[in-house]
Each structure stands twice: as C-alpha cells, then as structure tokens.
C-alpha cells in the first residue's frame, strides 16, 4: 500500500486558570479545509526550516524545533504570545512579519518589547501520527503550556482562513459539547481534554500529572491507539477498498460503547486490511466495546467486500435491508433483514439509540443509521466528503435520491458520517448543497434538450446532450457523467418534461 511520509508538526495545548477553573484554548479548522475540515483542535502546524535552524544546537534538536513550532504556530494562528497585552501594535507587526517569513524581523520586534514565545515552557504531552490511510499526514508533538495570569497574554484573534473559530473552554464543557456532536474533536484532543477535565476544578491543578496522562495514551505494546470515537459511542476507521476514485477507502463504524455493539460497513475485501479490522475490534473490545452483529448500508462491492470473510472469522451475524439481501443472494449470505425505522438501543457507558433510515436513490435497499442521542447520521453512500455520489440507472433513481437527501435533512442530523472521507460537521449545508447541485444539473440537461430541439433537425442523443449538460466538468469524468445524464433524463421523463424516442430524447410540448 502506498503511503505518504508524515511531516513533523507540533501543537500547543494552552491552558489558563480562570474563575477557579482550568480553561483550554481550542480552535476550529475551516469547514472547507482539505485536512480534517471543521475539526476542533489545538493550535499547531508543521515544523519549518526556521524552527530547525534555531534549534540545531539544542541537546534534542527535534524536540526543540517542535517546541518552537508549537509556540510560533500558536502566535501566528491566534495572536497569543506572553507580554503582548500591552503591545498590541508591535505584536501585530511581528505576526505579519512571521507570516511573511521575515523571521529575524519578527523575532526582533518581539524581543524589543519583551514578548516571549517561551518555547522551553511546555510539558511534553504526547505524540500522534496521522494513520497511513490519510492522504495528508503529520507526526505531531503536543506540549501542555500554562498561560500565567501575570504574563500579559492578550485575547486570541484569528487571521487567515485556515481557522474559523477560537475560544477558551472548560475541558468538561468541550467534552460535553462533543457528546452532543456540536463539534468534532480528533482522538489526541479527546485524550487531552479528558486528562484536563480530571483536574479542572482543583485549586492547584497538577499539570505534570495531566501531561503524563496524555503521554501514556499508547497501548501496552507501545503502538498508537486506533480508537477514534467520533461522538461518544460511535467509532470510525477507514479501510482500503476498490472504490470509485479519488476515494481509496470505505469507513467502517462501530455503534455502541458496551457489550452489544454493531459494526457497519464490513467493506474491505483485502486480507491485510481485514487483519487490521480484526486488530481494531480487539482494541475496542479491550476498552469494553464488543461487536455482536454486522450491518450493511447497501449492496455495492466496495461496501460488502469483507462481509463473508469477516462474518466467518468473527462469528458475527449479518443483516441488511431486504432489497439488499435479495441483491446479494448468491454472493453474500445475510442472516436477517433490517426493517426501515427499526430502532436498536445499545447499552454501555455511552448508551446509543440507532434508527435504521431507508434512503433509496443511490441503491434501492440503501439504509442510513441515525444515532438519535448525538444526532450523528451514518450516511453510507448518500453523501461523500471525498469524491462524488453516482446515481446510475439500474441501481439509482434520481427522484428517489433527491427525496432521500431531503428526508435526511428533515432528521436534523448534527454530523454526517459518510462511507468515504471525513465526517461532515455542517450537515444542513452539505445536504442542501447536494440537492442544489443536482437541480442545477437538471436545468443544464433541460437547456441541452432545448438547444438540441431548437436546431430542429432531430431528437438529441446522449452524445449531443453530454457536452452541453456537462461542459463544466473535465472530460475524464464524462463516462460516469453519461450515467448521471441518463438518470436525469429518466427523472425528467417521469416528471413529464422529456420523452424518449429510441436512443434519442426531446422536450415534451409542455416543457418546450
Ligand atoms: Zn454505493
């Protein structure tokens, strides 16, 4: 498997004491960012050449460069540096200089006004390597840093467009908001917030102990945890599958936090990835989460490729919508069906209540799974955050697909968990955007029919319509676009706006 090297990076977990409680600074990545969009995290970024040059003679140059990067990124992203409260103009000028890579000038501006980045201050608070499945990877060192009351720290302010929110949080409040799926937090931040929440009300919080707890997040064998809890009681992990490019993986999800959990999307047909899935489930089981059943979202090969092998290997029953069960007859044996609106309650430290939600349109037996407590909606192939969703004649139905997208919106989900790509933190915008995009395409298909018929010679073939209706897309995707075009034409026929004559199409009289 081809993987990208993880770039060295660093992140500052900045805390302060306020009103008898500990607070921690969190930023939110812009929802349109390419890496972990919409994720709430600690400020941070890649170690740069300036950080390395300034740290070359340190006893541990890599650690020193990472400490400097953590505090520099904190300053660049949020304007926070000790001593800046009384020197706002100089601090702003230094920030501009630094963002412009005029490093010496920035350092001089900070030094003349007594502002200090304090790179030596942070307590090592763990290291996290983005797993191999991610197209962009970082090897991030975390440092726990206290912003002391008497040091003149300013209020945070964002510049640039990578981040769209910054705020001080009580750690327990940040975790509670995560529990309501009001924001998404990555695994290292969940670990750090849990460590901080344990001491947030102590008169003298033991930050050394908190940092130690953050460092000791690896399993007994020293490997990084594979546990990514997207919201409490919902775990995610991507596995490589032969799927529609640019996607390369299908996400598996485990629902439940106790002994009766469910695995959704046993998708990978590759043995090495199935081994990885078995390891993942073993780690979850060590944490008290035991999978007892597998569910499918729909019958496509990149969603069921591991179902038979994993059912046998793990001894787990498999269920799906009855149409999916029928479609798979002879290839994948299911043990039972899931009825639309069937509700399953799963006990555990974080009880979950899951409703099967019937969403035909991409595939005729497609089920989404709605976790009603957090509002997380496992979206299968109804939406994707990597790649697009194909609605092809045969399995697909454009009118049903649009109706299912609208029905998903009416559920009021707080987060969409697609089969391909990152979680979607703004479900309303995503679902509306998907509907709007398909309706825009329908207008272009109508326009193409109109232009073809106004030439008056003959009805329009697919070859006539495709270059007009999809003129804004690269030719490389036209073979797939041709399938979408057929789905749009079938919907227009169903709506009474277009009619078919052999292989050619025309607008109906009322539409023309
Ligand atoms: Zn599919």
Three-class secondary structure assignment of 420-463: CCCCECCHHHHHHHHHHHHHHHHHHHHHHHHHHHHHCCCCECHH
In angstroms, rounded to a whole number, what is the distance separating the alpha carbons of residues 205 and 210?
A: 9
Give me the pLDDT at residue 223, please. 63
Ligand 1 center to 420 CA (angstroms): 10
Ligand 1 center to 152 CA (angstroms): 55
Domain boundaries, the chain: 7-82+117-215, 229-425, 437-507
Ligand 1 center to 408 CA (angstroms): 17
Ligand 1 center to 298 CA (angstroms): 7
DSSP 238: E
Ligand 1 center to 103 CA (angstroms): 50
Give me the pLDDT at residue 1, please. 46
Ligand 1 center to 496 CA (angstroms): 28
Give me the pLDDT at residue 457, please. 60
Q: Encode 157-201 in three state secondary structure.
A: CCCCCCEEEEEEECHHHHHHHHHCCCCEECHHHHHHHHHHHCCCC
Tokens encoding 428: 């309303």
Ligand 1 center to 363 CA (angstroms): 7
In CATH, the number for domain 437-507 is 1.10.10.10
Ligand 1 center to 252 CA (angstroms): 14
- Supply the pTM of this predicted model: 0.85
Ligand 1 center to 304 CA (angstroms): 10
Ligand 1 center to 451 CA (angstroms): 33
Domains 7-82+117-215 and 437-507 share a fold: no
- Tokens 């034409």 belong to which residue? 489
E strands, 19-92, in order: 21-29, 39-41, 44-46
Ligand 1 center to 345 CA (angstroms): 27
Ligand 1 center to 443 CA (angstroms): 25
In angstroms, rounded to a whole number, what is the distance separating the alpha carbons of residues 358 and 368?
A: 6
Q: Interior CA angle at 486 toward 245 and 472, to 5°?
A: 60
Ligand 1 center to 302 CA (angstroms): 7
Ligand 1 center to 460 CA (angstroms): 30
> Cis link prior to 246 (omega < 30° from 0)?
yes
Ligand 1 center to 360 CA (angstroms): 11
Give me the pLDDT at residue 32, please. 74
Ligand 1 center to 289 CA (angstroms): 28
Architecture of the CATH domain 7-82+117-215: Alpha-Beta Complex (3.90)
Tokens encoding 52: 């390395």
Ligand 1 center to 461 CA (angstroms): 27
Tens-of-pLDDT digits for all 512 residues of the chain? 456 788 999 999 999 998 889 999 999 988 777 777 788 999 999 999 989 998 999 999 999 999 999 999 999 999 999 988 888 889 999 999 988 888 889 889 988 888 888 778 899 998 888 877 677 889 999 999 999 988 989 999 887 777 889 999 999 999 999 988 888 898 889 889 999 999 999 999 999 999 999 887 655 455 677 778 899 899 999 999 998 888 889 999 999 999 999 999 999 999 999 999 999 999 999 989 999 999 999 999 999 999 999 999 999 999 999 999 999 999 999 999 999 999 999 999 989 999 999 999 999 999 999 999 999 999 999 999 888 899 999 999 999 999 999 999 999 999 999 999 888 888 999 999 999 999 999 999 999 998 877 766 678 888 889 999 999 999 988 999 999 999 999 999 999 999 998 889 988 876 65
Ligand 1 center to 194 CA (angstroms): 37
Ligand 1 center to 391 CA (angstroms): 9
Ligand 1 center to 96 CA (angstroms): 47
Give me the pLDDT at residue 19, please. 81
Q: Which of 74, 348, 388, 71 is nearest to 229 (CA)?
A: 348
Ligand 1 center to 258 CA (angstroms): 29
Ligand 1 center to 487 CA (angstroms): 15
Ligand 1 center to 456 CA (angstroms): 39
Give me the pLDDT at residue 17, please. 94
Ligand 1 center to 300 CA (angstroms): 5
Domain 229-425, classified CATH 3.60.15.10, yes or no: yes
Ligand 1 center to 493 CA (angstroms): 24
Tokens encoding 506: 């025309």
Ligand 1 center to 362 CA (angstroms): 7
Ligand 1 center to 382 CA (angstroms): 8
Ligand 1 center to 253 CA (angstroms): 16
In angstroms, rounded to a whole number, what is the distance separating the alpha carbons of residues 8 and 30?
A: 22
Phi, psi of 23 (to 5 degrees): -125, 150
In angstroms, rounded to a whole number, what is the distance separating the alpha carbons of residues 420 and 76?
A: 33
Give me the pLDDT at residue 510, please. 67
Ligand 1 center to 381 CA (angstroms): 5
């Amino acid at each position: 498997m081809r993987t990208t090297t993880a770039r060295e990076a660093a992140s500052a977990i900045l805390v302060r004491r306020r009103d008898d409680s500990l607070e921690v600074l969190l930023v939110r990545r812009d929802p349109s960012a390419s890496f972990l969009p919409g994720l709430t995290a600690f400020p941070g970024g890649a170690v740069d050449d300036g950080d390395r040059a300034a740290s070359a003679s340190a006893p541990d140059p890599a650690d020193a460069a990472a400490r400097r990067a953590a505090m520099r990124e904190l300053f660049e992203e949020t304007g926070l540096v000790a001593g800046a409260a009384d020197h706002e103009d100089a601090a702003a000028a230094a920030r501009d200089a630094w963002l412009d890579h005029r490093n010496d000038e920035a350092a001089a501006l900070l030094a003349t006004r007594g502002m200090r980045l304090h790179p030596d201050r942070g307590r090592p608070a763990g290291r996290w390597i983005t797993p191999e499945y991610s197209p962009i990877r970082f090897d991030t060192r975390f440092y726990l840093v206290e912003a002391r009351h008497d040091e003149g720290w300013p209020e945070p302010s964002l510049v640039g467009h990578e981040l769209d929110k910054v705020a001080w949080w009580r750690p327990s409040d940040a975790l509670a908001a995560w529990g309501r799926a009001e924001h998404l937090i990555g695994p290292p931040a969940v670990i750090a917030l849990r460590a901080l929440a344990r001491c947030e009300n102590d008169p003298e919080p033991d930050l050394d102990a908190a940092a130690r707890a953050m460092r000791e997040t690896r399993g007994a064998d020293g490997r990084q945890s594979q546990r990514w809890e997207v919201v409490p009681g919902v775990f995610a992990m991507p596995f490589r599958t032969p799927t529609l490019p640019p996607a390369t993986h299908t996400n598996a999800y485990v629902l439940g936090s106790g002994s009766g959990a469910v695995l959704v999307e046993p998708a990978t047909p590759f043995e090495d990835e199935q081994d990885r899935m078995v390891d993942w489930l073993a780690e979850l089981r060590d944490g008290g989460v035991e999978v007892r059943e597998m569910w499918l979202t729909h019958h496509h090969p990149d969603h069921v490729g591991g179902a038979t092998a994993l059912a046998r290997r793990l001894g787990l029953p498999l269920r799906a919508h009855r149409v999916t069960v029928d479609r798979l007859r002879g290839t994948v044996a299911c043990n039972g069906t899931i009825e639309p609106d069937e509700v399953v309650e799963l006990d555990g430290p974080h009880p979950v209540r899951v409703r099967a939600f019937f969403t035909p349109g991409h595939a005729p037996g497609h089920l989404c799974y709605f976790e009603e407590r957090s509002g997380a909606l496992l979206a299968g192939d109804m939406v994707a955050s990597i790649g697009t969703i194909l609605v092809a004649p045969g399995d697909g139905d454009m009118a049903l697909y649009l109706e299912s997208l609208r029905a998903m919106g009416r559920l009021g989900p707080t987060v969409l968990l697609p089969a391909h790509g990152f979680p979607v933190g703004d479900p309303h915008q995503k679902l509306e955007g998907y509907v709007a995009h398909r309706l825009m395409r329908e207008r272009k298909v109508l326009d193409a029919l109109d232009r073809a018929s106004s030439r008056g010679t003959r009805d329009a073939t697919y070859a006539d319509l495709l270059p007009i209706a999809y003129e804004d897309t690269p030719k490389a995707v036209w073979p797939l676009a041709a399938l979408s075009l057929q789905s749009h034409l079938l919907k227009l026929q169903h709506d009474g706006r277009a009619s078919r004559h052999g292989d050619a199409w025309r607008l109906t009289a009322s539409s023309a």
